[in-house]
Amino acid sequence: MVKIIGGFFAGVTVIGLLVYNFAGSLMFREVPSPFGVEETVARIQQNILNAGNGWSLSGLRNAAKPIEADGGNVLPVLMIEACSTKYSAPILKDDSLRFLSNLMPCKISVYKKNDGKTYIGLMNAQLIGSLFGRKVGEIMGHVAADQAKFIVFDASKPAPAMIKGGSGAAGGGAAGAAGGC
């Protein structure tokens, strides 16, 4: 009996350590980009605007700017903010789910690392959505499918211009005309 209880606790400990070590890499993804930071941002922005499903751009933030303003030195980090009212409305209309508004707008970060390469950081929307039940899981599954399209680039096409500006700088039509979720 002692061996069974000891084995159970050893198993729980091993599983706990695995979750602790790998949870971050399951919840977030990092994808290398073949382009520089600004071109990657511009291509993602264009893909969002062309995605349909109510997607619009709600902002572009330079996460490195406040650090630089404090006298620090950091490699470029730009955060694209986008939202789809098609996906956000069912969550925001439901009192029991409204706390998930802190996941909105959808953020995609584009940054440079010390290796000189550009990377794209994304939340694993499907996995995170599945943690909150069937309704949210289904909605976030659609978000994840759209996000996958946002980071597919056609290198044969010229880069579009990067859309600069704060929240609401560029709407993707009537669905996001107010500048986000």
Over residues 134-161, the pLDDT tens digits come to 999 999 999 999 999 999 999 999 999 9
Domain CATH code at residue 77: 3.30.310.70
Rounded Cα distance between 159 and 162, Å, is 9
Rounded Cα distance between 151 and 155, Å, is 12
In a domain, 14, yes or no: no
Segment (H or E) for 112: strand 106-112
Total of domains in the chain: 1
Over residues 91-106, the pLDDT tens digits come to 999 999 999 998 888 9
User: What domain range includes position 99?
Assistant: 26-176
- Does the reported pTM lie above 0.85? no
